[in-house]
Amino acid sequence: MKVATWNVNSVRKRTSNLVSWLQRAKPDVVVLQELKAQEPQFPKLEIEAAGYKVEMVGQKGFNGVALLSLHPVEITARALPDAVADEPARYIEGRIQTSKGPLTVGGIYLPNGNPIGTEKFTYKIAWMERLTRRAKALLAAEEMFVLGGDYNVIPTDIDVYSPAAFADDALCQPQSRAALRSLLNLGLTDAVRAFHLDDVQYTYWDYQAGAWSKDHGLRIDHLLLSPQAADRLSAVGIDKAERGKPEPSDHVPVWCELDLA
């Protein structure tokens, strides 16, 4: 069972990159972020032609998340707890019916939170607390789950090319890191770090200032596994080559393989 996450930065701009990656990588389930599209604008026919069922939460212009699956899906949430009326499209969650039993997958587009010292940062931290509440509820069910997405948090200084350059950035704030640790400390496993204890594993390179060619990257796209999923973790990967292709997203796919019993 291969589960992946990819911030595509506009699903319309990225349709051909996305379809060719799906055909090559063959994930069983993938969560997408930054669709920047409403439901009628989503390239559903192209994705379905690749074999995937499509579930999404969209909005005009910004945000937008989707869950694609080769297997039957029952949507279990389209927002985190305490959603407001015009809640930004940042969370989707589904229960996948695999041949080996159920697997819940959550797709996360965590608020950026810049600049710090504003209501945007406050909102980021509050959103992380809501996510933690949802994770607690999922853990209480004692079932296998994966929470994947663009977390917009740089967990430690080895996950950023220049800690000094990001000292005042919301992605690096002690409060952001502490909120991510609180989530992990519930008993979740950062899949990439389970296989790469202390090496550089970037998932994002800014479009600006030649970040890609200089390898000025960040690790902000994560797959967090429940204990039941972590027990089955057999491989992880970051499809870095996607960043070097024509008209790339600024993020690349991150995936993990679960050997289900």
Q: Name the one range near DNA by CB under 7 A: 6-14, 23-31, 93-101, 137-145.
A: 6-14
Looking at this protein, which amino acid is placed at residue 158?
A: I
Binding mask 75-94 for DNA (x = CB under 7 A): --------------------
According to CB under 7 A, which one of 45, 61, 86, 261 is a site residue for DNA? 61
Rounded Cα distance between 62 and 261, Å, is 39
Local structure of residue 114 (DSSP, 8 states): P
How many residues bind to DNA according to rule CB under 7 A?
Answer: 18
According to CB under 7 A, which one of 10, 156, 175, 182 is a site residue for DNA? 10
According to CB under 7 A, which one of 27, 111, 148, 237 is a site residue for DNA? 111
Rounded Cα distance between 194 and 231, Å, is 11
Q: Name the one range near DNA by CB under 7 A: 110-118, 127-135, 191-199, 233-241.
A: 110-118
According to CB under 7 A, which one of 119, 213, 247, 261 is a site residue for DNA? 247
Minimum CB distance to DNA smaller for 145 or for 212? 212
Local structure of residue 109 (DSSP, 8 states): E
CB of 205 to DNA, least distance (A): 11
Minimum CB distance to DNA smaller for 111 or for 217? 111
Check binding of 120 to DNA (CB under 7 A). Answer: yes
CB 147 within 8 A of CB 5: no
CB 70 within 8 A of CB 79: no
Q: Is 162 exposed, middle or buried (0-12, 13-18, 19+ CB in 10 A)?
A: exposed
CA dihedral over 180, 199, 18, 28, signed as positive or negative:
negative
CB of 249 to DNA, least distance (A): 8
Check binding of 182 to DNA (CB under 7 A). Answer: no
**Which pair of tokens denotes residue 130?**
């809501």
Rounded Cα distance between 155 and 145, Å, is 21
| Stretch 11-40 residues interacting with DNA (CB under 7 A) | 12-13, 36-37
CB of 135 to DNA, least distance (A): 22
Minimum CB distance to DNA smaller for 111 or for 237? 111
Rounded Cα distance between 242 and 26, Å, is 15
Rounded Cα distance between 166 and 113, Å, is 13
Q: Using CB under 7 A, list all residues that contact DNA.
A: 9-10, 12-13, 36-37, 60-62, 111-112, 114, 120, 206-209, 247
